[in-house]
Structure 1
Amino acid sequence: MHKILILTASIGSGHIKAAEAIETELRRLLPDAEITTVDFMARRISRIHWFMKEFYLAMLAFVPNLYDVFYKLSGGSSGGTLVQNAFAWIMMPVMKRLVRRYEPDLVLCTHPFPEGAASLLRRRQQESYRLATVMTDYSLHQIWLYPAVDRYYMATEEMRMGMISHGFAVNTLEVPGIPVASVLQEMKDKATVRRALAIPEGQPAVLLMGGGLGLGGIESNLRDLEEIEARLTILVVAGRNQRLMERVQDMADASHHQVLVWGYTDQVHFLMRAADLLITKPGALTISEAFVLGLPMLLHDPIPGPETENAIYATQHGAAVWLHPREDLARSVRKLLDGDSLAAMSRAAVSCARPDAAPSIAEDLKDLLLRRS
């Protein structure tokens, strides 16, 4: 019986969603396998990891470019290796404990922190497990690049070519896209979903999201949308931010729009299907899901670093408009809803979609395991 350990990180929801999508496909392909998914940054796994995550999230509110600082520190060939190795050494003892507990034949990582620790442990202890990494970005960065990784799965051909230029073996590099849940391809038609939400026929629906952490200026966006005279349905996902949810609900009660509010929910795909436009921060998984659903995006406030690159990717491919600081949100939304650009953006989004990424990755992982056997 094969044993598979999937390691993710609860820093935002994208890494977890990618892990869940692949786990679902692996269970379908390998029904007898023992598959365990672990949040590498959870308190029950490591108080040190958990504290590092909580400190980072708390600091992010005061220093929005904190990730950019780390991103740049880990970007140089020498400095990057130094920063990466420091994190890997700190986290290796926890990785060693997990490997001893689960005895995996395969370790799959959807975040660079567990990847680095698994790579270092494999090299230092001559561990025999296969190691694979799903890169949840639309740009290549040193933070993901480690030796002793059997397979890298990435979003674009440009990323693959970049890794080849870094000296990575061609046979370790695959470009399936970023994995999303298979349920996206099974969604009911838009009209049925809108009726279920009691959205009046012909009334535009706008979805506001800020990721699982409820970031991204949702309150200010909601205030800006009040300037639009025509009545909208505004679907708001506040994530795990309970205080934000309460404030948004108060705003909803006073709005002239139809405003529906959710906290952290597993119904995001349902809401995305109902929407005509998504206003969000450019997280890679959110963008990937919108591509599959053909949902046009208005992107804003990227966390400097990978989210900026995600925004560039989506806008360059015609699936999104990037709202820069001091640009008028209400004016941009009004222009999109009144014109005919949403249809073209929807087609562009679908052309970027990789709905079969998760099944493709699972198939390749199965081959890796069988070759090991």
Structure 2
Amino acid sequence: MKPKAKSFLIVTASVGSGHEKAAAAVAEGIKKQHPDAVINIIDFMSVKTSWVNAFMKSCYLNMLYFVPNLYEFMYQFTAGKKKGGFVKWAMSSVIVYSMKTLIKKYRPDTIICTHPFPADAVSHLLEHKRADFDSCAIITDYSVHQMWVCPKLNHYFVAIDSMREQLVEFGISKDIIHVSGIPVSEPFCHSYDKVLCRQELGLDTDMPVVLMMGGGLGLGGMDAAMDQLEKIKMKLQLLVIAGRNEDLKKKVDVFAAKSHHNIITWGYTDRVPVMMAASDILITKPGALTLTEAMSLGLPMVLHEPIPGPETDNARFMSEGGMAVWLHSGDSLSKIIGDLLAHPEKLEQMSQNSLKYRRTDAAKEIAQRMG
């Protein structure tokens, strides 16, 4: 008799694209190693999962857009064990019911979480012995926040060594913490020829290419950045990915008609690996998945307008590692981009620093340990 296929439940959250990208990369890795596996990827913050969770997502996004300083306050307020622990307990009491419903529906052998909310719900169920399955959290940033501390999980996968130390300080056993890197999909895990990628995109192979991204939600002050880039006299090819932000895409299209640069605009696209490989510099907000994808391809980065909290930590890690220039208040984007393009040796050093840190086997390692 053929053995029963193993069932995986990967629980993510549609707040930006990073958590979902990590979930998809892990599913890809599991499928390669276990072709018969049953894999379900669920958006924990979708109204289909729970209207309460969806309401929490709406509050989060509105806070980021309208009062980012309040978000920063909440992030710092919940960073400590006592305050953060209380908030986690209060949230667990609400969201644990939607996790119980998912478990009853899918009957998973293994649950993999790429967002702290479902990870905490899983930990809560395991603590009260209401479930029996293997479990893990994949932390999709370059630092650890208290909200990620879920003591009853079986495994943690983190990006860098310092995060293991942070988790140990929070009381997590070192034995269950694996420094795997952040998982990215297979197209970001191999090398490309820059000239061929430019030809594929219909670009001039000799003119500098600057890629601009704001994450899956199209955040990050991209329209203001374009005003700055207009000050650069050298003609550039600007590839602008607006994500799901239709208003931003329309603004960029209007701007492109009067710019002296060659501007090409995309909404949500699956051609990001080719665009990154074709580019000389990436300008982006420091979402961890975008940074990890760029790092995997050795693409130098200029980072601006981080979401207060985790993205600030991401920007710090990338800039201290020599992979990115972090644009602070008062810095001139046009001068920084102009200087980098005028000194290709700086770009080459940033690229080499990225290739030194990259971990393109993260999805494979997670699949092996959880399979």
TM-score of Structure 1 vs Structure 2, range by shorter chain? over 0.9
**Does the 8 Å CA contact 2:134/2:370 hold for their aligned counterparts?**
no
Counterpart residue number, 2:360: 355
SS in structure 2 of the partner of residue 61 of structure 1: helix
**Does the 8 Å CA contact 2:64/2:307 hold for their aligned counterparts?**
no
Q: Which amino acid aligns with 1:144?
A: W
2:201 corresponds, among 197, 200, 216, to: 197
The yes-or-no answer on 1:290 pairing with 2:297 is: no
Q: Give 1:287 deviation, angstroms.
A: 0.9
% of aligned pairs identical?
Answer: 43
SS in structure 2 of the partner of residue 167 of structure 1: coil
Counterpart residue number, 1:28: 32
**Does the 8 Å CA contact 1:187/1:270 hold for their aligned counterparts?**
no
- 1:178 and 1:343 map into 2 onto residues whose CA distance is 23
SS in structure 2 of the partner of residue 161 of structure 1: helix
Q: Give 1:143 deviation, angstroms.
A: 1.2
Counterpart residue number, 1:69: 73
- 2:146 and 2:224 map into 1 onto residues whose CA distance is 34
Q: Deviations over 1:227-251 (max 9, x none)?
A: 1111000000001011111111110
Counterpart residue number, 1:278: 282
Counterpart residue number, 1:180: 184
Indicate the larger mover: 74-83 or 57-66: 57-66
2:105 corresponds, among 92, 95, 101, to: 101
- 1:61 and 1:140 map into 2 onto residues whose CA distance is 23
- 1:149 and 1:326 map into 2 onto residues whose CA distance is 44
Q: Give 1:201 deviation, angstroms.
A: 2.4
- 2:202 and 2:106 map into 1 onto residues whose CA distance is 47
Counterpart residue number, 1:263: 267
Q: Deviations over 1:1-59 (max 9, x none)?
A: 21110000001100000000000010111112211000101121111111221222123
Counterpart residue number, 2:124: 120
**Does the 8 Å CA contact 1:71/1:143 hold for their aligned counterparts?**
no
SS in structure 2 of the partner of residue 7 of structure 1: strand
Q: Which amino acid aligns with 2:134?
A: R
- 1:67 and 1:143 map into 2 onto residues whose CA distance is 14
Q: Which amino acid aligns with 1:122?
A: L
SS in structure 2 of the partner of residue 32 of structure 1: coil
- 2:142 and 2:131 map into 1 onto residues whose CA distance is 30
Counterpart residue number, 2:167: 163
Q: Give 1:166 deviation, angstroms.
A: 2.8
- 2:268 and 2:62 map into 1 onto residues whose CA distance is 19
- 2:95 and 2:169 map into 1 onto residues whose CA distance is 29
Q: Deviations over 1:327-365 (max 9, x none)?
A: 111111101110121111111111111111110111111
Q: Give 1:65 deviation, angstroms.
A: 2.8
SS in structure 2 of the partner of residue 208 of structure 1: strand
- 1:20 and 1:228 map into 2 onto residues whose CA distance is 38
2:94 corresponds, among 85, 90, 97, to: 90
- 2:321 and 2:309 map into 1 onto residues whose CA distance is 19
Counterpart residue number, 1:211: 215
Q: Deviations over 1:146-172 (max 9, x none)?
A: 121100000111111222233322221
Question: Aligned pair count?
Answer: 366
Q: Which runs of 5+ in 1 are unaligned?
A: 367-373
Q: Which runs of 5+ in 2 are unaligned?
A: none
- 2:360 and 2:290 map into 1 onto residues whose CA distance is 13
**Does the 8 Å CA contact 2:157/2:180 hold for their aligned counterparts?**
yes
Q: Give 1:186 deviation, angstroms.
A: 3.9
The TM-score normalised by the length of structure 2 is: 0.96
**Does the 8 Å CA contact 2:210/2:236 hold for their aligned counterparts?**
yes
**Does the 8 Å CA contact 1:320/1:345 hold for their aligned counterparts?**
yes
- 1:72 and 1:111 map into 2 onto residues whose CA distance is 18
- 1:198 and 1:111 map into 2 onto residues whose CA distance is 38
